[in-house]
């Protein structure tokens, strides 16, 4: 067993893992070329790549952990823990080099193994969000206007950009411009991640959300997607009944936030 940097010839293994993850909806194969050479690692067992993990440096010197996968045939053998611990060691090295100050990652609330591993290794919950699903056909798409992002548009302290989360800052503005697009429709604004079809309303409230959903549906349809996701802060909990009436749904019934953002300060 060894962990090493991913190489171009690993593509078939990565595509196989991606095909068997999230019912074939995994994004790993799509980002393979972009991730090569940028803290993207694979776990190799007897010559076969059976796991992956990635560290992306976000604004604020945050080492964002993502892409942790283990091939279904190799799960339950502790390989996820091996990859997680490898990331902790990598985080320490990057902290010593002054590149990061903390490690963070996000996970779905049903991912009990990931949550347990995080808590055992010193991570704590930094923020909570709701992620809702939506079907593009449930709305009458309306074309929104693309807008140049400025700091004034970022009304949230922690901004979801797909399944990554960044703190509000000027540095974050530049990063978000590379990884998402800002749209305006009916006087309200939302972010559209470039990697995922996940939208972040920057104006929160039932009437405002209702105004922007046709614009989200338009973007999703232009991307050829039949479904999309909407990420909302945990403070919308009292609005859940009204949000569901807007044709948004939760994947699993819950009254509590279903996305957890974890953080761990890295001590040098």
Pairing status of strand 145-147 against strand 259-265: unpaired
Whether the pLDDT of residue 204 is over 80: the answer is yes
Locate 66 and state its tokens.
Answer: 């993502």
Q: Which CATH number is 95's domain given?
A: 3.40.630.30
Q: Are residues 205 and 88 in the same domain?
A: no
d(CA 210, CA 212): 6
Domain count, the chain: 2
Range of the domain at 45: 2-100
161: Cβ contacts below 8 Å, ≥ 6 apart:
176, 179, 180, 191, 193, 200
pTM of the prediction? Answer: 0.94
Q: Which of 154, 234, 165, 152 is nearest to 193 (CA)?
A: 165
What is the average pLDDT value for the chain, to the nearest integer?
95
pLDDT number for residue 145 = 98
CA distance 163 to 73: 26
Residue at 123 is within a domain = no
**One domain for residues 162 and 90:** no
Q: pLDDT tens digits for 137-155?
A: 999 999 999 999 999 999 9
Same domain, 78 and 168: no
Note whether residue 155 is domain-resident.
yes
Residue predicted with more confidence, 50 or 23: 50
Which CATH number fits the domain that encloses residue 198? 3.40.630
Return the percentage of the chain with pLDDT > 90, whole number: 90
Residue 119 domain-assigned (yes or no): no
Task: Specify whether 71 is located in the same domain as 141.
Answer: no
DSSP string, 52-89: EEEEEEETTTEEEEEEEEE-GGGTTSSHHHHHHHHHHH
Burial (0-12, 13-18, 19+ Cβ within 10 Å), 229 = buried
Q: Answer yes or no: are the C-beta atoms of 72 and 20 closer than 8 Å.
A: yes
pLDDT, one tens digit per residue, over 161-193 is 999 999 999 999 999 999 999 999 999 999 999
56 and 161 belong to one structural domain: no
Residues 83-141 have pLDDT tens digits of 999 999 999 999 999 999 999 999 999 999 899 999 999 999 999 999 999 999 999 99
């Amino acid at each position: 067993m060894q962990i090493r940097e991913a190489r171009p010839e690993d593509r078939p293994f990565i595509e196989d893992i991606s095909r068997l993850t999230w019912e074939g909806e995994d994004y790993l194969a799509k980002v393979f070329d972009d991730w090569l050479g940028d803290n993207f690692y694979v776990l190799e067992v007897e010559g076969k790549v059976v796991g992956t993990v990635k560290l992306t440096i976000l604004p604020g010197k945050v080492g964002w952990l993502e892409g942790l996968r283990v091939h279904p045939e190799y799960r339950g053998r502790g390989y996820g823990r091996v990859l997680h611990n490898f990331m902790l060691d990598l985080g320490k090295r990057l902290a010593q080099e002054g590149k990061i100050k903390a490690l963070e990652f996000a996970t779905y609330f049903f991912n009990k193994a990931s949550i347990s591993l995080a808590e055992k290794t010193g991570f704590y919950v930094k923020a909570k969000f709701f992620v809702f699903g939506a079907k593009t056909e449930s709305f009458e798409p309306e074309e929104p206007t693309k807008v140049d992002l400025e700091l004034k548009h970022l009304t949230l302290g922690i901004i979801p950009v797909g399944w990554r989360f960044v703190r509000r800052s000027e540095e974050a503005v530049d990063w978000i411009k590379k990884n998402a697009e800002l749209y305006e429709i009916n006087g309200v604004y939302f972010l559209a991640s470039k990697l995922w079809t996940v939208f972040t309303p920057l104006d929160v409230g039932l009437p405002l959300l209702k105004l922007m959903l046709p614009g989200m549906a338009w973007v999703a349809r232009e991307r050829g997607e039949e479904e999309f996701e909407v990420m909302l802060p945990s403070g919308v909990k009292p609005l859940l009944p009204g949000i569901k009436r807007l044709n948004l749904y939760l994947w699993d019934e819950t009254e509590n936030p279903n996305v957890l953002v974890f953080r761990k300060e890295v001590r040098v």
